[in-house]
Structure formats: C-alpha cells, structure tokens
Amino acid sequence: MTLADFPQLRRLPARQRLSLAETLWDSAAGDSLPVPPSHQRLIRSRRAAYERGEVATLTMAELRKSIHHGK
C-alpha cells in the first residue's frame, strides 16, 4: 500500500498529512512485532563493539551538526 492508493491524502495540506502520520505511528507504536533473530544478533554485536570501545560516538551537538551539513 502506498500513498498513491489514497489520492485524497495527497491533497491534504502538509500539516494535516504530518498529523495523520503521527497518529498512525502512535497507533502502531504499542503493537508488539517479532524481531527477527538476524536483527537480534546484529544488535548484540553492535552493542558489544560499543562496550569494547570500538565504535565512535557522537554528542547530540555533533549529530545535529552532521545532519545539518549533510555529512
């Protein structure tokens, strides 16, 4: 299903589309979905690398700056 399936939504002002998206997101946030074992392994691996100090971290200010500058 895509936005093309709901042409009337495309005609809504951006603020209304964003509000609708937020409502949909909030309604799905409480749903419990299974996490595939491959994703669980990847998360454990990345956390272990972080705990070993092998992963570079950013402060929020650095993250915002990198997003703002497109880096």
Indicate the pTM of the whole model. Answer: 0.47
> What is residue 64's DSSP assignment?
H
Domain locations in the chain?
1-30, 37-68
pLDDT of residue 71: 53
Burial level of 44, CB count in 10 A (0-12/13-18/19+)? exposed
pLDDT of residue 43: 95
Residue 70: pLDDT over 70: no
Q: Are 9 and 23 in contact (CB under 8 A)?
A: no
Q: What is the pLDDT of residues 17-60, one digit of tens each?
A: 999 999 998 888 777 888 899 999 999 999 999 999 999 899 99
Q: Which of 49, 31, 32 is nearest to 41 (CA)?
A: 49
pLDDT of residue 69: 80
